[in-house]
Amino acid sequence: MGIFSSKNHLNENMLPETLPGHVAIIMDGNGRWAKKRGLPRTAGHSKGVKTFEDVVEMCFTAGVNTVTVYAFSTENWKRPDSEVQYILKLLDEYLDICVEKCLKKGIRMRIIGDRSILPAEMIQKMNDSEEKTAHLHYNLNVAINYGSRAEICHAVNSLIADGKTEITEADISSRLYTAPVGDPDLIIRTGGEIRLSNYLMWQASYAEFYFTDTLWPDFGKKDLYKAFHKFAKTHRRFGGL
């Protein structure tokens, strides 16, 4: 084994042969990360943005084609207004940085969720970042004011508005915010909870799951590669043999 203590140690730092094409991430645990350090929850969100930048870059460098991250849910409005405003301001500021990075790296940005109730300038920024990057190959989807149930209702209502009276699975899939990028192959959730919290419920039908206790601001390359290795070992049957 030479300088490596075990085969596992060697593997963890290398990419497996099979990678998920589309990775979705529930970035949870920012508040607890801050609390553990005696910091305000907002400090966890700031650190979380840095982790987000790093992990997204690691995914694309590894060879993943699409990354879909959960940044703010339709239920997160229940939090104290000061925290909600802080998160939205962080996201708003980050949009500017993100679009520049995406342009450099060949990544198409999409914001998924109901943007209509967000501040007008933020909506403008979202529209601009999507337009500016629309010609690029890789996909980064950021879920802001996103909820799976709301997304499915929105899809069905848009079909009704078009006069549809009988709706197929393909119809619904075609009207989801994720229609252009399809379903995730792997869903990662940090922060220890084993639940979807209203994220990509339709799209998750045949996704593989990777749950870790690691809090989002602590999530790094080692954790990401562990998730990739677990994914690579899975035999996906999609109901067949």
Footprint of Mg ion (CB under 5 A) = 28
State the number of CA atoms in the 13 A half-sphere of 30 facing the CB: 22
Catalytic-residue membership of 218: no
Quote the CA–CA distance of 15 and 131 in Å, as a whole number: 33
Question: Which of the residues 171 through 210 are near ligand IPE (CB under 6 A)?
Answer: 191, 193, 195, 197
Q: Shortest Cβ distance from residue 47 to Mg ion (Å)?
A: 14
Partner in contact with 177, chosen from Mg ion, ligand IPE, none, beta carbon below 5 to 8 Å by kind = none
Nearer to Mg ion, 63 or 192 (CB): 192
Q: Shortest Cβ distance from residue 104 to ligand IPE (Å)?
A: 26
Contact map string, positions 61 to 100, toward ligand IPE, x by CB under 6 A: ---------xxxx--x----------x-------------
208-211 sheet: strands from edge to edge: 107-112, 138-146, 66-73, 22-26, 186-189, 208-211
User: Alpha carbon of 200 to those of 126, 139, 141, 205: distances in Å?
Assistant: 20, 16, 12, 9
Beta strands in 96-228, from DSSP E residues, in sequence order: 107-112, 138-146, 186-189, 208-211
What residue type is assigned to position 3 of the chain?
Answer: I
Contact map string, positions 26 to 45, toward ligand IPE, x by CB under 6 A: xxxxxxx-------------
Task: Out of 30, 76, 139, 141, pick the active-site residue.
Answer: 76
When CB distances to ligand IPE are compared, the closest residue is 31
